[in-house]
Structures are given as C-alpha cells and as structure tokens.
Structure 1
C-alpha cells in the first residue's frame, strides 16, 4: 500500500499438498425390515481458481505496459494519481466446500417413499474483490463511522487498489421434505419442498461474478469482510417442485385405426413455486465519501441508503410491478456515513410456473422392431403466469451530497420467464 512505483514480482508459486478431500457416509436399516433407513454423509470438495483472474491481471499494468505514444517505456517514472490496479493475493488458497447431509427415509407402501432430511455446506477460501486503498473513517462514540470531506487515499499514487483475495465464506442450511412414488402401474410422481438459508460474504464480489440482482459484496477494507455478509444472490427460502409421468391407459385394448391413434399416449408435467431472490437498494453516488470504486459489476462503488423510521425490509416491499418498493421506506443517510439497508435484505418477486407435455409413442414396424415414432406436444408456462424480473434498484441519484429520489425506482421492466409457449415435435428412434 505504500510503494509509489509499480513493480512486477513473481507469479503464483504456491503449490500445496494439503488438498485432501475425504468422504465418509453411512446407511442404517433401523428396524431390519428394509422399510426405514437413516443415511448420512460428509465430504470436502476443492475447486480450482478462475483462470480469468490470472489472465486479466497479467495482461494489464503493471505487469504489461500499455503501448501508447506518451508511455514508451515502463515502469513510468512518475504519473498522476489516477492509475488503478488489480493485484491478486500472492498465496491464493484453493477454495473448498464442506458438504454434509442426514436424512430419514420411510417406505409408506409398496412404491412410495417419504424422506425427511437436512443438508448443509460451508464454503471456505472463496474468491472476492476488495478496494484496500480507501481512507480510514473516523469512529464515532455511537459506533458508527464518518468520512470527513477531502480525505486522501493511503497511497496517493493510485486510485483503486482492487485486491483479489481468497478469504470469502459461505454457509448453507436446508430442511428437505420429499415424497416419491416410483414408476409402477404406468405412473410416477415426486413432490419436494426445501426450506433453506444461504449466506455468504463473496457471492457478488466484483470480478468473480455478475451480480445480476444488484447484491455486491466487495466493500472498503476498514469495515471487514462481514460488512456485506448477507443472503446469497441465488438464495430462495421456499422451493416446492412437483412432477409426474402418467401412461394414459384408456385405449390399451382398442384395435385398428382407433387403437393406433388413441393408444401409446403419456402425459408429463412439472410445477415449480419458489420465493424470490435477495435484492439490494442503492444510492448511485459515493455518498459515504469512502472513495470506494471497484470497476466491475452492477452496483459496485455505490452506497446503500437507510430505512425510514417505521419501515423494515418486509414493509418496504409492495410487490406491485409498477412500484415494487415503497419509495417512502428509504431515506438518504447523512453524507459521510453508511446507510443501514443490508446487502440482500429485500426479497424479489416470487416464481410460479407449470410445464406440461403430451407424448404419443408409435411402433414403426417398417424400419424394424425397435423403431419408434414419437409425437410431442409441449406447453411451457401453461397458465401464462407473468413472473416478474428484477426491479430498478437505484433509489437516489444526482450530484454528490445532493442526491434526489429516482422516479423509476422499483419499476420492473422485464420478466424472469417467457409467456406461454406451445411447441410440436417429431422424433424417430431406431
């Protein structure tokens, strides 16, 4: 943070033999009758670091000079304080996740099984991005922080020093309820409900993900990694999935032309109902004066407002696609301070969809006994429900310290799924 001249050191030289990935599991027939079982398992799974991180870093200054007329040599002896760099932690740790589960299964009758289970995971050394070259704020007596006007960065030779590091974390816990009927008598079905909570500190970090719903986890270093600890971008508290396959039996005994037309039909359907994903509301300018401005990702370098008195993350949401958020629920925090709206603290629109397919299988003896002609009629989003997308998340914009409410705040301009679509298909297998 103190070196005013860019230098190029060695690249990644941290081989390790510590990537041990154990697995353990068990299954117990509780009553010895084959109808009730308890199963569990645990494992550690390592991942490789994203190669893009290395490629982007080594092909940009200070590793690779920019070939411009006024910069014929590198390093530059002196330069104005507008250069930003993206160093990568030298001894990056390999990210890994610990996964565990425990469930109880009970056969209710011949072909139907009930499962009650718990699943969890813990991500360690996940990649994240952080601006480490920001001013140190003043700590007030009430525990809040304040940035005075005109503070300079610790290293004035640079603007952003956006460090890529491997100190992110994630936590996932879920309760699972499932009823499954195995295929028999021409019918199978499954119902699965999951109640879960997914928290992380790095999901939407710049440079490592796209943060399509506006939640960002990179933030100035003085606040620590937990400042943006919140619900993961893809968190959905409730998730119910239903599906079935039914071999329609009505025309099995018909002969002749009627039998060829009406026999061999199957119906299949799948329905999904889930909660919305987390959302974060922003102030467009750097109202906190933290000078934090990482360069990638929606919402990056933007502060968050505060909840108005009497409002919470639940009452701030109206659910109306014209005005999904109540504008009165948010106020600008005092200049030089941070708002109290948390990362991912608001919930987006839920999703409901149902797809249905009708399939007709016909033996085609002319090309051999194993030849089958399949006619498919498929309907997606059968009930034509509108599943709304992400609303506009910027609540205030304008000149620094003089931001004004945004008239389109909370407006939804897109959908998460398409309208009803019906398609026909013909398939030959032999």
Structure 2
C-alpha cells in the first residue's frame, strides 16, 4: 500500500530528462545546471564640515547588498533544484569623526562607528516556499516537535543503498538563514609634538554581537536506506521504501536553539616617534589589550568540561548479544534486550546524559567557559636610518608583539548545540504513519568543549630591510620579514580511541567473528562520541626575503616587480568552521611531528609584475578630431604572476577495506582555502623513496613519483609527512585595456574597459590525484595516482562601461 506522505516526498523530485542510456550508462537520469542571479549594490556617502580652522567633522555611511539567487546557493538546499533561495548578504556601516586642533602642538581625533552585517536566506518567493511545504506537497504527517518548524517545511530524506549518487532531499539546518552581526567602536587618539618627539596616546573600545543563526534537524530526517537487511520493511530499493512509508531511521532535533554571542575589547596605547638625529628616527611604544570571551546573551549555551566529567556517571550502552541465534542489543546489567538496530544506543534511565556538561548560567564556572584573560602588554619598537643623509638610502627594522583578541563567532555558536540544549533522538525500523507513537533512542553524540585555562593567540613580528632610490623615479626595496605565532586556536578530539584499540580482544564484537565493536563502546570518555576540544595550543612561523622594484607613475608609465622567497609552517591552515574538525591536531602523536609542516598555502617563490602604461596620443602626430576621439586616451595595465605550487598531502585507501591503524589520530593535514587537496583523507602511507620528480620528468600523467609510497603494515600509522610534494605552480597574465572618453569638464568621462584574465589562455594544472589505493598484496592500483586531474580557469574576458562624474 502506497503511503501518502512517502509519495509526497518522492513526488518532490523532477521527472527524468536524461534517458539515453548510451550516454548515461544507467548512472543517472537527470541533468541540471543553473546560472545564479547575483544583483549587487554599493553606496558610499561622506559629508565634511569645518565650522572653524581648528575643528573638523566628517561622517561616512556605506552600504553593501549582494544577493545570490537560485537553487545552489550558500546555506541552500539540494543542488538538483529543490528550492530557490536567496543568499542575501548586507554590510552597512556608519562612522562619525571629530578632529580638534587644540594648539599648534596638540591634536585630538575621536571617532565612533557602527557596522551591521546580515546573512539571510529566505525562499525566493512565496511560490518557491510553497513547493517545499507539507501543505503544498501533500505531506500530511506531523512531527515530534512542530514548534521548531513554523514554516511547515517537509522533512529531509536520504535514499542510501542506491548505486551512484542518489538524489536526496536536503537543506541547511538554518533554513531560512538569519545571521546577524553588529560591531560598535570608539577610538580616540591624542597627538602631541614637542621638539624632536611626536607623542601619541589613545584608546580603542569595541562591543560585538554575533549571531550565526539557529540550526537543527528541525523538520526531521528520514533514511529510507535499502542497505539494511535487518529492516523488516526493506523492499530492497530505497525509493520504494519511501513510497511504502517504511523507514530505516528517523531523526528529529528536540530544539532549535539560537541567540547571539557578546564580547568586548578595550585597548590603550602610548608611543613616541623620536627623530634622534637628522639621519635616525626611532619609533617605540606600548599597547595594552583587554578583552572578554564570547558569552551567550541569554545563557543558552553549554560546553563539555573535562574536570566536571565523572566516568562512573556514564550512561550504559546496549551491547551486541545473541539470543536464540538472533542478534540483539542487550543491557549488560538488567539483561533487557532491544532490536539489533539499537546496538550502541544509550540505555534509557541510566547514567547522566549531561555528564561533564557545564551550562552558561552556571555561576561557578567562568563566563564564556574560559578564565578571564589578563591585561596583555604589546611592546613595539622600530627605527629608520638614512645612511648618507640624502634621502636616497634607508635601513629600517622593527619588532613587535600582537594579540588576536577576537575569535570567530562560530566557536561560540557551536556551544548552543550541546546537550541538554539540543538532543537528536532516533527512531528505527518503522512506518511513517506511526512515527509519532514511537519512542526515540539517544546515541552517544558529539560535544564541544573549551580549554578553561586558555591563552591568547600571540604574534611576534620582526623585519629588517633596506631601500634605495636608484633614480628615474625608481626605488628598490629588499627586506627580511619574519613572524612566529603561538597559542593559535586548534581542536583536539579527546574521545578518539587509541591506536590498536580495534585489535584488542576485549573490544571484539561477540556476535560477529573478526569484527571489532564500534568505537563508542570503548572510548576514553564513555557516553559521548567525538569530544571536540577547542584549545590555544597551535603554532606557526613565517620567514621571507622580499624584494621590490617600483617606478612611480612618470611620463605615462608605472611598473613594479615584487619577488618573495618564503617559507610558512603551521599545524593547520584552516579558520575554524563547524565543529572545528578542520583544525584538528593529533591526540596521541606529537603534533610537532605529526601536524607541523608547510602551510597549505606555502609557495616558495612568488614573482609578480604590474604595470600601467598610458599609450602615446596619436593626435600628437595627426592633428584632427577623428584621430583624437578614436586613438587618444588609451591605457594598458596588467598583472603577471609566476609562483611555485603549494604542498600536496598524500593519503591512501585499500581495496580490501583493511583496518590498518586500529584507531588513533586521523588526518595529519588540514588545508585552508589555498590547499591543493583541502579535504584529504586520514590514512598516512609510508614514504619509501623520493617522491619529487625533476621538472624535466613531470607531466600531466605523472606529477610525482607514485612508487615512493607504500602500504603500511597492520598497526603502522605511516610516516609520510604532510608536505612531502608540491602541486603545480601558477603562470598567469591578466591584462586590461581602457579607453577614457572625456564628456566635458575635468570630472566627467565615459570609460570603456576590456578585461582579459589568463590573456594567453595558458593551460595551468591545478589538482593532482594524491590518494593511493593499495590492494591486499600492497600493490598500488589507482591508475590516476600522481596524475593531474584538473586545471585552473581558461581565458575569461569581461567588457564594461563606466560613467565617472
């Protein structure tokens, strides 16, 4: 019998439009592509007012509006075209500044500002919303917690077990997205000139509110998997399961918590620029920084605290057992049994579901779950020395300490999703018609915690350079620039099982020979799955030789050449997102060995040439209006970049699905936006040779030596570093041609622009397949391993008309 609501979910999918199996080979039956509409607007207005020679006021207001409109937008739904949404980002700011000349030697400048940024993702229209509502689609069933789904959106649905990439109904847990940030600042600087000294002192204060948007599985999630043979309602085909209303599992959040995080910063400084001699100028000063950690504005946050966790209060789990030859879950204390699908679930009524959890409202724990930071001193000193006193040659040096007093609001946002604020119980093996009468079971869930005795991210910066004016309007600059960063934000999984844990006899499943129990049965902190612990334990360093040659715009020509020889190293190169897994460092290995290495964006050599050339006026040779109108006022500008490739992290999989490490640390590489393979896997091969090929031997089909990597033996974590080889570099030229047409008066003109990116349409390699695949005998069987598998964009041209007035 067809279930009406299950039919409604399947009916959301569009009809097939790719029916030629000679093309699809049965792998898909639907093609979809779209071009997003992205209207943008920017406005800036400024007013200056000088009521007297000593007083100056100005105010500035700016607005930004950018709206991605379509199916596949940020925080959107299924990419096949589930629902059209906005991803509307606005950024509005206002500033008021007052400068007072107190005397010929004293000037005070003060300013206040406000900035308001929003992210909103409503449906594009009421009709688009209606297409995913229960009322419009014919989905008649209710849900366990309807108050968290006020729009009546249909539940999400997965159809696992179908070969290929089965279409699903998915959308962001924040739909419709409602992010909101506000920043208020006050800044005051007093300048006092006395003799050879220029003194400055002042303060800066900010208050910030961050709201990432409430999130949850708010409408429920059905899994109609056909891969679970234990499901009595399984037809063997996931979409048929949905039509009959037979689900493998149903998950729905208990709440949809939200609310903003609040934080403050205050800084004071004093400095002196001292012209010690006609040749020597010294800058020295001290800045003091104070800040608060993010705290939830309504107290609706919680976090895991290791010091509050009591192993004796951990809930029990249903262990696997055989009863009359049938595999079931059993409570080891009472002997009560449940269906096998509940193996690993928390036994109701046992232990403490919030064991180790601290609420933001707990007055015995620090605000924001971290101890208040101390007042932070930031001394800085530098000098400039004119070697000959003629203004042609200068030597400069500086050293200073800086602190990052503002973390991403995402870290605070994660604390709104911990228990008991939000739970996600699951119901198994049932009918959609009776889901509301079923009892959900909780399983060990991920939680987030924070280092209580936290440290502030600190940057030690230093530089030494020389500058020489060589004439012809040209200056040559060479400098060493370096920095060391300490106490950077990282995450560590406190609840990952040790290496070899899967091989321990006591951890084997008694109902299945040769198969280990799931990790949740023997984690270090029973009752939880992953425990993501945010801590300030990271480090990084940067060292570079920077050389520049710049010619000022003279006689219609300006050009510059910049070359950097550098090395950047860190633990991870990501900013924090989600649970923080993308900043994860080792729990059992030494992070200085396992994680520390070249940054994902490190490029040894980077050379950039820029130029602007006013083409000669043809009217200087041919004096007539036609020549002047067509051939005068042309300008050519360009940018050419030649850069080394970024590091590639090599990982592997196995044909036989062998468990090599038996647990332990996962990926030793977490790349940032510039990474060649930012989502690399977790298994580390052994390095048995030199993987780097000479440039003369590198090709599209073999970028590095695949024979340099081998399958580790059982129990071997692998030894290949995270930065063992480099990906393809960049050689690119962008050119822009301008034609300026005067329209009378010096301020009005029409500008025609022809912008060409990758002007020579040079093929530039991008991604290399860096995932080996080993069979049981240790043979590498991935034919693409070491090959280039993608390129950077080809030539792109853009034509624009700009009216300047």
- The answer to whether TM tops 0.5 is yes
Q: CA deviation at 1:371?
A: 0.8
Unaligned runs of 5+ in 2: 1-305, 315-351, 359-364, 428-440, 508-521, 672-677
The equivalent residue for 1:40 is: 397
Q: 1:20-39: per-residue Cα shift (whole Å, max 9, x none)? A: 33332221111111100011
Q: Distance in 1 between matches of 2:731 and 2:572?
A: 28
Match runs of 1:212-291 below 5 Å: 218-226=584-592, 227-253=594-620, 254-284=623-653, 287-291=660-664
SS, match of residue 530 in structure 2: strand
Query: Which one of 738, 743, 751 corresponds to residue 359 of structure 1?
Result: 738
Q: Distance in 2 between matches of 1:398 and 1:59?
A: 41
Range moving further from structure 2, 165-174 or 10-19 = 10-19
Change (3 A) 1:407 1:110: closer
The answer as to whether partners of 1:128 and 1:208 remain within 8 angstroms in 2 is no
The equivalent residue for 1:381 is: 758
Q: Distance in 1 between matches of 2:578 and 2:564?
A: 28
Q: 1:14-70: per-residue Cα shift (whole Å, max 9, x none)? A: 22243333332221111111100011222323221222112113313x352315377
The equivalent residue for 1:306 is: 686
Q: CA deviation at 1:349?
A: 0.6
Change (3 A) 1:328 1:14: same
Q: Distance in 1 between matches of 2:466 and 2:478?
A: 5
Please report the TM-score for the alignment, with normalisation by the length of structure 1: 0.84
The equivalent residue for 1:342 is: 721
Are 1:51 and 2:394 an aligned pair?
no
The equivalent residue for 1:19 is: 376
Q: Distance in 1 between matches of 2:421 and 2:650?
A: 37
Q: 1:186-238: per-residue Cα shift (whole Å, max 9, x none)? A: 11110111000001113248747999xxxx76344221221211100110000
Query: Which one of 493, 503, 520 corresponds to residue 149 of structure 1?
Result: 503
The answer as to whether partners of 1:380 and 1:420 remain within 8 angstroms in 2 is yes
Please report the TM-score for the alignment, with normalisation by the length of structure 2: 0.46
The answer as to whether partners of 2:685 and 2:720 remain within 8 angstroms in 1 is yes
Aligned-residue CA RMSD (Å): 3.2
Change (3 A) 1:209 1:344: farther
The answer as to whether partners of 1:293 and 1:300 remain within 8 angstroms in 2 is no
Q: Distance in 1 between matches of 2:546 and 2:636?
A: 27
Q: Distance in 1 between matches of 2:781 and 2:584?
A: 25
The equivalent residue for 1:406 is: 782
The equivalent residue for 2:446 is: 84
Q: Distance in 2 between matches of 1:84 and 1:397?
A: 32
Unaligned runs of 5+ in 1: 71-77, 138-145
Query: Which one of 566, 569, 583 corresponds to residue 199 of structure 1?
Result: 569
Q: CA deviation at 1:348?
A: 0.6
Q: Distance in 2 between matches of 1:371 and 1:426?
A: 13
The answer as to whether partners of 2:451 and 2:535 remain within 8 angstroms in 1 is yes
| Number of residue-to-residue matches in the alignment | 403
Query: Greater RCO between the two (CA within 8 Å, min separation 6)?
Result: 1
SS, match of residue 630 in structure 2: helix
Query: Which one of 457, 464, 467 corresponds to residue 102 of structure 1?
Result: 464
Q: Distance in 2 between matches of 1:235 and 1:59?
A: 35
Change (3 A) 1:85 1:263: same
The equivalent residue for 1:425 is: 800
The equivalent residue for 1:115 is: 477
SS, match of residue 221 in structure 1: coil
Q: Distance in 2 between matches of 1:352 and 1:181?
A: 23
Q: 1:397-421: per-residue Cα shift (whole Å, max 9, x none)? A: 689x9896433323433323x2112
Range moving further from structure 2, 225-234 or 199-208 = 199-208
Q: CA deviation at 1:300?
A: 6.8
The answer as to whether partners of 2:491 and 2:584 remain within 8 angstroms in 1 is yes
Q: Distance in 2 between matches of 1:104 and 1:186?
A: 28
Are 1:93 and 2:455 an aligned pair?
yes
Q: Distance in 1 between matches of 2:731 and 2:646?
A: 13
Are 1:8 and 2:8 an aligned pair?
no
SS, match of residue 21 in structure 1: strand
